[in-house]
């Protein structure tokens, strides 16, 4: 009898690993961004209509960060996907 793995079926989406973390818990701290994804926001009152999902590492732990920030979404789209991982610090302005 065959095993499921014998069929060579791979998942279509690459899920992120780790507990969800709030934006204010990473502000002004260096993080490692491993990958990102931009989807339509499920919240109708979202500023951008988009949801940025980040697979990050902070304090040697894998975490997932979700944000509707237009600024962060626009900035991260300029980073080539093949340049991950990279380090950054998210700072609140104003």
Please report, in tens digits, the pLDDT of each residue of the chain (94 residues total): 999 988 988 776 668 999 999 999 999 999 999 999 998 888 766 566 889 999 999 999 999 999 999 999 999 999 998 898 999 999 988 7
User: What pTM was estimated for this model as a whole?
Assistant: 0.78
- Residue 72 backbone phi and psi in degrees, to 5: -65, -40
Burial 49-83 (b: 16+ CB within 10 A, else e): ebbbebbbbbeeeebebbbbbeebbeebeeeeeee
* pLDDT value for 9: 87
* pLDDT value for 73: 93
* pLDDT value for 92: 87
* pLDDT value for 47: 62
């Amino acid at each position: 009898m065959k095993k499921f793995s014998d069929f060579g079926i791979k998942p279509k989406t690459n899920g992120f690993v780790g507990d969800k973390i709030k934006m204010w818990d990473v502000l002004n701290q260096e993080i490692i961004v491993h990958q990102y994804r931009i989807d339509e926001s499920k919240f109708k009152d979202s500023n951008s209509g988009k949801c940025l999902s980040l697979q990050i590492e902070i304090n040697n732990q894998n975490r997932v960060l979700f944000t509707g920030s237009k600024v962060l979404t626009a900035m991260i789209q300029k980073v080539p996907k093949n340049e991950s991982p990279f380090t950054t610090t998210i700072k609140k302005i104003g």
